Amino acid sequence: MGCDIHMYLEYSFWNFSEGKFDTSLALNVGRDYTLFGLLAGVRGDSYNEISPPRGVPEDIVHNTAMEYTLDAEDHKDYPWFKEWTGNVKGRGRHPDWHTASWLTPEELDEVCRRYSNGMSGGGITNDIAFLRDVVRSAKKNYKSARVVFWFDN
């Protein structure tokens, strides 16, 4: 069974204050276990993650939260749901998601640096270059940017 990543760029499109996030955009990043190891220690044969997984941010953007969670009312009769409920905008975490975290643009640059410096045999993939460039652009054009992600099995 494979592991995939669900990743969202969050940035401040409407709110011009530093550190405030109000918009999210889904990013399609392919299955890359070297990358997963660097991001959060997932499936990455002893690679050192940039940061231990932090969970989802407390100020997670609404659209991102809707993807990460399930509506409690719709699932209250399922016994498994009680085990997975969390307080993410009054909803429960999806039972298939794990190892949620987020990174700043600077941390993502460090992921790219480590990836290209031999952890993957040199160079970076198109997916990683795209991810790096999108996050850099968001940071340049908006006050705040970060990537929020989690994995499934």
Q: Provide mean pLDDT across the span 11-17.
A: 72
Write out pLDDT tens, residues 90-110: 577 777 889 999 999 899 888
Domain ranges of the chain: 60-100
Check pLDDT > 90 for residue 46: no
What residues are paired with 25 via a beta bridge? Answer: 9
- The secondary structure of residue 143, as a DSSP letter, is S
- The radius of gyration computed from the CA coordinates of the chain, to the nearest angstrom, equals 16
Q: Provide mean pLDDT across the span 105-120.
A: 80
What is residue 127's predicted lDDT score, i.e. its pLDDT? 78
Write out pLDDT tens, residues 51-93: 889 999 999 998 998 898 877 666 666 665 655 555 555 577 7
The whole-angstrom distance between residue 79's C-alpha and the CA centroid of its chain comes to 28
**Cβ partners under 8 Å of residue 81, min gap 6:** 70, 72, 75, 92, 95
Beta strand 23-27 pairing with 85-88: unpaired
What is residue 139's predicted lDDT score, i.e. its pLDDT? 82
Check pLDDT > 60 for residue 119: no
3-state SS, one letter per residue, for 52-121: CCCCCCCCCCHHHHHHHEECHHHHCCCHHHHHHEEEECCEEECCCEEEEEEECHHHHHHHHHHHHHHHCC
Q: Transcribe 3-48 into DSSP letters.
A: -EEEEEEEE-SS--STT---EEEEE-----HHHHHHHHSSS-TTPP
Check pLDDT > 80 for residue 10: yes
Nearest CA-CA partner of 62 in 90, 89, 92, 100: 89
- The secondary structure of residue 1, as a DSSP letter, is -
